[in-house]
């Protein structure tokens, strides 16, 4: 009995009937290969940076009996977003241009429990002697006009490949769970969309961002009160204060 178990049988057939050889210029193939290699390098830079963050989280969790990091998300920027950003900035679209001009091809988002965890983790990462901090944008101390809050760092980390060490740039965005909730919904609904007559929507979103920031502060104060009850200052410390 001859039963065809391949559910993609039709696909196989259409592949056989595909048109003849398509001429692809060598220069295009070479550039595509370099692009793939560069994306692989950014993926490795993400892995290296994630490990650093996971180590910090593990250590702080043991020391303080709670996790400062709730979640780590990462992505390599999509080719379409890379092209869009280079074109928007009037820059050439080439592998060299990506390497020279873009800081956020490798992106890591660190979701922290509390506001002060953001600064603790950011400072610990920045102090590591193989991490170069190239830029910091503190959108928590200086939020964007629409209420967007996050702590952005562009760092450079060495990655050891077969032919030696290469320093790779990674964008690390640190935010609280509450900031991430706002930014994710803002991103879904509005960010980079040209909405007409959107004043009311923007005002509403900004008002939500302010409420969320206030809630973040209150949650941190609650945690501090609980910490104080669990570890009251010693009488010696109290006398000194
Ligand atoms: P995605 O899809 O998250 O990767 P530019 O990237 O040119 O717009 P710049 O100066 O390079 O500007 O970057 P900046 O100001 O440090 O912030 C860039 C990233 O921060 C964005 O990446 C977003 O992830 C986030 N971001 C900044 N502003 C907002 C905002 O108002 N709302 C939300 N939801 N996110 C924001 P991408 O590549 O634009 O987008």
Q: What is the DSSP string of 108-162?
A: EEEEESSHHHHHHHHHHHHHSTT-EEEEEEETTTS--TT----EEEEEEEEEEET
Query: Cα(173) to centroid of ligand 1, in Å?
Result: 10
Which of 183, 185, 209 has most ligand 1 atoms within 8 Å of CB, for mutation? 183
pLDDT per residue over 94-105, tens digit each? 999 999 999 999
Read off the pLDDT of each residue in 137-153 and give the average, rounded to a whole number.
96
Q: What percent of the chain has pLDDT over 70?
A: 84
pLDDT per residue over 105-114, tens digit each? 999 999 999 9
Q: Would you state the pLDDT for residue 231?
A: 80
Q: Would you state the pLDDT for residue 240?
A: 55
pLDDT per residue over 115-144, tens digit each? 999 999 999 999 999 999 999 999 999 999
109 lines ligand 1 (CB under 6 A): no
Vertex 161: Cα angle to 160 and 164 (nearest 5): 75
Query: Cα(106) to centroid of ligand 1, in Å?
Result: 13
96 lines ligand 1 (CB under 6 A): no
Report the distance separating Cα 70 and Cα 66, nearest Å.
Answer: 10
183 lines ligand 1 (CB under 6 A): yes
Read off the pLDDT of each residue in 39-68 and give the average, rounded to a whole number.
95
Query: Cα(50) to centroid of ligand 1, in Å?
Result: 20
104 lines ligand 1 (CB under 6 A): yes
186 lines ligand 1 (CB under 6 A): yes
Report whether 157 contacts 136 (CB < 8 A): no
């Amino acid at each position: 009995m001859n039963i065809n178990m391949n559910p993609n049988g039709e696909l196989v057939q259409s592949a056989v009937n595909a048109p003849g050889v398509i001429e692809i210029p060598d220069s295009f193939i070479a550039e595509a290969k370099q692009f793939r290699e560069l994306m692989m390098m950014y993926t490795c830079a993400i892995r290296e940076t994630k490990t650093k963050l996971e180590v910090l989280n593990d250590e702080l969790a043991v020391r303080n009996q709670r996790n400062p990091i709730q979640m780590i998300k990462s992505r390599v920027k999509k080719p379409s977003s890379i092209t869009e950003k280079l074109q928007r900035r009037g820059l050439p679209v080439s592998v060299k241009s990506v390497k020279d001009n873009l800081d956020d091809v490798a992106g890591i988002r660190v979701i922290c429990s509390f506001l002060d965890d953001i600064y603790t983790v950011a400072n610990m990462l920045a102090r590591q002697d193989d991490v170069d901090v190239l830029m910091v944008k503190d959108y928590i101390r200086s939020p964007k006009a629409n209420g967007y809050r996050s702590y952005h760092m562009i760092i450079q980390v060495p990655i050891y490949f077969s032919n030696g060490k290469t320093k790779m740039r990674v964008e690390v965005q640190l935010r609280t769970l509450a900031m991430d909730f706002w930014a994710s919904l803002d991103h879904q609904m509005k960010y980079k969309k040209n909405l007409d007559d959107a004043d009311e929507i923007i005002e509403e979103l900004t008002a939500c961002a302010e409420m969320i920031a206030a809630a973040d502060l209150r949650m941190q104060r609650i945690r501090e009160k609980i910490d104080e009850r669990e570890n009251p200052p010693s009488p010696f410390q109290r006398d000194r204060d």
